[in-house]
Structure 1
Amino acid sequence: MIIHDKHPATILQSHPSESLTQSIDAASIGHAPPPNSWAPFFNPTIPEELQFPSFTQWVTGYFNHGDLSTRDPNVVSHVVPATSPIPSIYNMSEEEIARASNNPIGALDAAQMVFLAPHLLGAFRKACFDERIKQILPYMKISAFCCEHTGGYGPATLWDIEDEDKEHEGGHVKTRFIPQANHFTHWDDPNRALEVYLSCIRA
């Protein structure tokens, strides 16, 4: 939560603030994975010791999706990032990668999101839609955004949030896509990432 004057803002983001594993994907809000989803973690065709290195290269890529305004899961790219721009991690030194990643904790975080799904779903709905919370924090704004070149889990989960908002009569969560950005905008373009946060507070 970010406090600005008397207006708290809860921001649900498509990229992590500290590590490679904290992200708004379906599991982190207690939802089932989107159709055709894929990730290197828990993939039996990838040796266990290579799953996390594969994940860091995959998750920092730029994915080219189809027309996201259609909200069609079939236009979402899940597996192979684009060749340009190059993944964020290739602009980092080994020391920077070591500081930013948290293997083997990353795999543990992913497992926790899967097995704690009912609790995460309850927490998500309480934070976003519970009238008692709104009474306690009457000035709270909730924004969810997804960088449009994030992997397929990002757009799909933003649509899930929009659907949940609609089911609760709408107007609780402001959502949007950030153009020409990937899962790690705060690495590739920190100034722009900060501006996105500030725009959520000002909205």
Structure 2
Amino acid sequence: MSTPTQLELENLTVSDGVSYYYFDSGNVPDNTYTTLVFVPGMGFNGGVFRKLFPLAAAHRLRIVSLYRRDYSPTTSFRDSDLASLVSRTVEGQEGFLRSQAIDIATFLVVFAREQHIPLAEGIGGGIALVGWSLGSLHTHAVVAHLDALPSNILSDLSKYLHTVICHDASGVFIGIPPPPSFSMKLWSETDVEKRFKLFYEWVAGYFLHKNVTSGSIDDLEFYKSPDKAHSMNELSPEELAALTSAKTFSASDALLVSIQLDVFKAMTRRAIFDTALAEDFLPNLRVRYMCGGASPGVIVWALHELRKCLADPKPIYGPDAEKARDVKFKFQTEGNHFIFWDEPEVALKQYIATINL
């Protein structure tokens, strides 16, 4: 098996003028294997998952990690792509998310066709799509906008995609605002590089919670431990720069984070609380949410709030909302936001356990 540094970026065209670059751990010979496709979070490119690649085959996994749009060499957003975000209209922002969903779903299907990966058999084979942090916005969008896919893409997607995982999704991406007592002062920093550094050191820290499974906000820590080094602290500035983009973090990623909360609420309702959509489009698709045992408390809290909504989603997601898909939650008891970097073997076992829920 190749080491992470020996892997070469590959590319795949999904539409006219749009190509995604990605890393691929490769075929698993003589095995029916599952392909995990990762969509990375804010400020980070697909290289952030590189420690998982040498471990994949032993777990009968093939791992693919995307470079999202605006992360070179994947195609940058055009002005026309961003106009809908900048317009601040609900229609424009929903249209932007829908277009990203179509592109990522198309990537999955074209990759599956070209690589001849195994078809899904229950929760084996096929594809599990994993959105990490801001990447969960994109994976959620795929589930929410299955009805926008061309029929040939939707038909083939149904043969491969069996599970979607949102790993450490920020509350805003699922339509849940942070608790009133929580604030992020780093967003007021005007220097782009400094703002990214503050964000990265915060989100990559360890949050020492009393209890991540209780559902009580009082059991959660909202500020990182000052006594434990944050993930990736061993990297030189040059090594970190190879995995990140402060420019994209403060540009198109910042626009994504500023999408109106009601748009994210509507997307979540379409994804997991719309019975008509779920019945007509990939009815057997499973949606899983997971968070780390030392991830930021604000993320753990939001996931508990969403779990409560499974019983009665109407107060947040509207009068017609009701649980429509196979949705489950996994509150891990170990690992921070970057567990795939600090403890890659543990991370793979967590992903497998979440898929198997």
Where on the TM-score scale, by shorter chain, does this alignment land: which range? 0.7 to 0.9
Q: What RMSD, in angstroms, separates the aligned Cα atoms of the two structures?
A: 2.5
Q: How many residues align?
A: 191
Partner of 2:306: 161
Q: 1:75 to 1:38 in 2, by over 3 A?
A: farther
Preserved contact between residue 41 and residue 107 of structure 1 (Cα < 8 Å): no
Contact 2:294 2:336 in 1 (8 A): yes
SS at match of 2:330: strand
User: Which of the numbers 244, 266, 269 marks the counterpart of 1:101?
Assistant: 244
Cross-structure match for 1:5: 121
Task: State TM-score, norm by structure 1.
Answer: 0.81
Q: How does 1:172-187 map to 2 (within 5 A)?
A: 172-187=326-341
For 1:87 and 1:183, how far apart are their aligned partners in 2? 10
Q: Distance in 2 between matches of 1:56 and 1:75?
A: 24
Report whether the alignment pairs 1:143 with 2:288.
yes
Q: CA offset at residue 26 of structure 1?
A: 1.2
In the alignment, structure 1 segments of 5+ residues that lack a partner are: 15-23
SS of equivalent to 2:178: coil
Q: TM-score, normalised by structure 2?
A: 0.48
Q: Whole-Å Cα distance in 1 between the matches of residues 341 and 277 of structure 2?
A: 33
Structure with greater contact order relative to length (CA < 8 Å, sep ≥ 6): 1
Moved more, 1-10 or 135-144: 1-10
Which amino acid counterpart does residue 162 of structure 1 have in structure 2? R
For residues 52 and 40 of structure 1, the distance between their equivalents in structure 2, rounded to whole angstroms, comes to 12
Three-state SS of the structure 1 residue aligned to 2:240 is helix
Match of 1:194 in 2: 348
Name the SS for the 2:310 alignment partner: helix
Mapping of 1:87-126 within 5 angstroms?
87-108=230-251, 109-126=253-270
Displacement of 1:116: 2.8
Deviation at 1:36, TM superposition (A): 2.4
1:79 aligns with 2:223: yes
C-alpha separation between the residues in 1 aligned to 2:181 and 2:173? 18
Alpha-carbon deviation of 1:6?
Answer: 4.6
Aligned to 1:18: none
CA contact (8 A) 1:39 1:55 kept: no
Matched, 1:128 2:282: no
Residue 190 of structure 1 aligns with an amino acid whose one-letter code is: P
Alignment of 1:48-67 (within 5 A): 48-49=191-192, 50-67=194-211
AA paired with 2:285?
M
- Letter of the 2:179 counterpart: P
Report the Cα offset of residue 195 of structure 1: 2.2
SS at match of 1:51: helix
Is contact 2:290-2:354 (8 Å) kept? no
Percent of matched pairs sharing the same residue: 23
Supply the distance in 2 between the matched residues of 1:5 and 1:182 (Cα, whole angstroms).
31
